[in-house]
Amino acid sequence: MMWSIYIIGCCFLFGLVIGSFLNVVIYRIPRDLSIIRPPSSCPTCHRLIKPWENIPILSYVFILRGHCAGCGSPISLQYPVVEAFTGILFALVGWRFGGSFQTLVFIAFTAILIVLSVIDLQTRLLPDVIVLPGLLTACLLAVMTLHPKGAACWSTTVSKAFFGMAAGGLPLLLLAWGYLKLTGREGMGGGDIKLMFFIGALLGPGKVLLTLFIGSLVGAVAGSIALKLAHGDRHTQIPFGPFLSGAAWISMMWGDGIIRSYLMFSDLAG
């Protein structure tokens, strides 16, 4: 019990720190800036941020009080929200998977999903510089299972990764191709398709299909509501990445149980 609490606490604190870094990635990647140099600074007055002003959440609330210490410009609420959200999700991953290799992989996956979701909401883009290395890493993890020691700590084998990519990416690829042929317009970005290849390679066919189902269902409902509230039309772009990312995280955490319950409920489990 104490060991579990220790893991959860460490994951939460680690998530707060990583969340601060994710804010840097979210800001710089779409602008083609290095995520390493220069040091963090105010985008308005370019004043360098002091180390004690970079303490996750606390510095925003108690030190800076939501404003730059140099010019007084307001600091986006996105910064503490991403930090807190990352800490909470990391803690949940630690609670679910404990002190395992899966925890390390899924913490990294969670961070990627957070970054992609926020960037997609802001820019309608899912950058290749994030998605493609993730896909490559997922494939390498699958190859690792060819060795007995690798298979002992990771369950998505090469065949599962292959069928996962096919199940996740090909439906969206065919849908995008068909929509383009029928309307002459792009109805889905290539980033969403690449993201599904990545998710399929990491989680396997069952969980990527669950991701597609949950993401499409929630995305359709939320998108319809957003369009109605914003008085948009059928040409209005709705970012699909956050819905796919949220669905992938749910599938990662509880996909096995959801699929098992569905099969039992539908009498497909025999």
Q: What does the H/E/C string look like for the chain?
A: CHHHHHHHHHHHHHHHHHHHHHHHHHHHHHHCCCCCCCCCECCCCCCECCHHHHCCCHHHHHHCCCECCCCCCECCCHHHHHHHHHHHHHHHHHHHHCCCHHHHHHHHHHHHHHHHHHHHHHHCCCCHHHHHHHHHHHHHHHHHCCCHHHHHHCCCCHHHHHHHHHHHHHHHHHHHHHHHHHHCCCCCCHHHHHHHHHHHHHHCHHHHHHHHHHHHHHHHHHHHHHHHHCCCCCCCCCCCHHHHHHHHHHHHHHHHHHHHHHHHHCCCCC
pLDDT at 209: 97
Q: What is the pLDDT of residue 268?
A: 54
Cα separation, 21 vs 28, in Å, equals 11
Give pLDDT tens digits for 217-239. 999 898 888 778 776 666 667 78
Whether residue 43 has pLDDT greater than 90: no
Q: What is the pLDDT of residues 51-95, one digit of tens each?
A: 888 899 999 999 988 898 888 899 999 999 999 999 999 999 999
Percent of the chain with pLDDT over 70: 96
Average pLDDT of the chain is 91
User: What does the pLDDT average to over 240-249?
Assistant: 96
Which tens digits make up the pLDDT trace of 103-161?
Answer: 999 999 999 999 999 999 999 999 999 999 999 999 999 999 999 999 999 999 999 99
Q: Over the stretch 170-217, which tens digit does the pLDDT of each residue have? A: 999 998 888 777 877 776 778 999 999 999 999 999 999 999 999 999
